[in-house]
Amino acid sequence: MALPLGASAQTATLPALSVERLTLNPGAADSLVADGAALLAPRALRLGLTGHYERTPIEYARDGELRGAVLGSRFTTHLTAAWAATPWLELGAQLPLVVHQQGDALEAFGVAQPAATAVGDPRLQVRVAALREAAGAPLDLAVGLGAQLPLSNRSALTRESELRPTLSVGRTLGSLLRAGAEVGFSLRRTVDFQGTPITRSELEAAALLHTQGEGLRGELALRASLPTDGARLSSELLGGARYRFAQRVEAYALAGAGLSRSFGTPTFRGLAGLAFTLDTATASSSRTSAPAPSSRAPEVSADRDGDGVADARDACPTEPGPAPQGCPAPAPAPQAPVAAAPQAEAQRARAEAVKHVEAQVCLFAWNSSALSQACPATLDDVARTLQAHEELELVVVEGHADSEGPPAYNRRLSQARAEAVRHYLLQRGVAPERLQTRGRGSEQPEAAESTRAGRRANRRVRLVVQVQPGEQTSQSEAY
């Protein structure tokens, strides 16, 4: 878009404003360039390095005639960081470094050449999750507030103060897709340049759609902004892919074109970079609540009484007994002949109920604790069974994860999955004292981790009925 300047030639200067209108998403749990209300996993730290190319983000016209590009091209490196302090709070920061930019010679019209390199304004943001799918809500809802601090050199078209509140929503669509939307308002002060006021406060919106899962992910984002000074709507469409090729490393690339031009919307934009995700709780977990590796090893495969039920799930680890509890059957109490048949029938019904509940499994998408589409029907059936069999006094909801990622992170992820299932069952009328949760992490795989199908089977929640409560569990045990 052309700067709306006066007609008389003046001393060559530049307006004290920032051309950049794209706000990166440092956490990028949804999109790299839009917010779909998903936050990073608790205590996760994401560090990003993004290369960003823009072609002709701002032009100059006089008397209705295009005179040249104030900025013909710009290449910027963005340093980004995001940290999830809790499941509902994420903090973010980014710093742009203009590596090179250039424009046409417009000094004759009073427009100076911008500085070729510059350190841009830092940006800080905070996002709060008001609703979370992982906690049983129908969608994710988040509010955010970002601020751009005017600390850079005004000669590079990078300096501007800005306050940007946002509201975003997102929803998981099956196991493969997720959709989201964001609205925000960028509040910027009016700048006077060569006698012409330039107001750049804008109403902004974005819609996004991306795939989920391991490895390669696709992403599509539509962004639009409407200036409050009466300038026309600008919009651009960006598409790209992200590939996670190590437990903590992700590469990504996006590109797109401006669909309608306005200030700061380039004719073409391309981004590519790398991100590193770290689990900042790993060290503290190993020092405090997480058991040492040597003490956890027997929990996976040890079976001291040789009854085929691992000690980790054996309520009687030193006395052989049948699955699932691993305890010897109690000696039958003397019974009157007339009561024998009804009691046998009750025991048979209870055993069938236990078998039915423990056969139910909820599978989860990669790196997600949101219930998949198949889970509600399964859990509705479990809730009906538990309500019909009040003698099943205690059910342990066990969450599991695949082996991707650090052990401490997987324990928290599996705990979050267990909590999501428990929350759903509570909503269906199951008494809270009958449900306890345990996050097992990746310590008890159901299938081989060497295949994609096996890893998918290991991202699960199953239920274990404690018919004779003896092994007490805690909702925070996984931590």
According to DSSP, the β-strands at 140-148 and 65-86 are unpaired
Average pLDDT over residues 247-265: 86
Average pLDDT over residues 231-249: 87
- As a whole number of angstroms, the longest Cα–Cα distance in the chain is 111
Structure tokens at 34: 């839009």
Residue 253's alpha-carbon distances to 77, 207, 380, 409, in angstroms, are 14, 18, 41, 26
Average pLDDT, the chain: 82
The fold of the 13-280 domain, in CATH, is Porin (2.40.160)
Listed residue (274, 275, 272, 276) closest to 253, CA to CA: 272
* The model's pTM: 0.64
**Got the DSSP string for 85-141?**
EETTEEEEEEEEEEEEEE----GGGTBPPPPSSEE---EEEEEEEEE-GGGT-SSEE
- Per CATH, the architecture of 342-466 is what? 2-Layer Sandwich (3.30)
Structure tokens at 281: 């709780």
According to DSSP, the β-strands at 123-131 and 140-148 are antiparallel
Output phi, psi for 456, to 5 deg: -65, -40
Compute the distance between CA of residue 389 and CA of residue 396 in angstroms, rounded to an integer. Answer: 16
Q: Three-class SS of residue 373?
A: coil
The conformation of residue 232, written as its DSSP 8-state character, comes to P
Q: Contact at 8 Å (CB) between 260 and 234?
A: yes
Residue 272's alpha-carbon distances to 241, 254, 277, in angstroms, are 10, 6, 17
Average pLDDT over residues 97-116: 88
Q: Where are the domains of the chain?
A: 13-280, 342-466
Percent with pLDDT over 90 in the chain: 37
Average pLDDT over residues 176-204: 84
Structure tokens at 461: 């929640």
| Range of lowest pLDDT (59-73, 205-219, 260-274, 370-384) | 59-73
Q: Contact at 8 Å (CB) between 175 and 373?
A: yes
Residue-wise pLDDT for 36-63, tens only, equals: 998 988 888 999 999 999 999 888 777 7
Residue 254's alpha-carbon distances to 139, 141, 250, in angstroms, are 26, 25, 13
Compute the distance between CA of residue 74 and CA of residue 80 in angstroms, rounded to an integer. Answer: 19
CA 392 to chain centre: 36
pLDDT band at residue 306 using 50, 70 and 90 as cut-offs = low
Residue-wise pLDDT for 421-469, tens only, equals: 999 999 888 898 999 999 999 888 888 877 888 888 899 999 998 865 4
Compute the distance between CA of residue 477 and CA of residue 465 in angstroms, rounded to an integer. Answer: 18
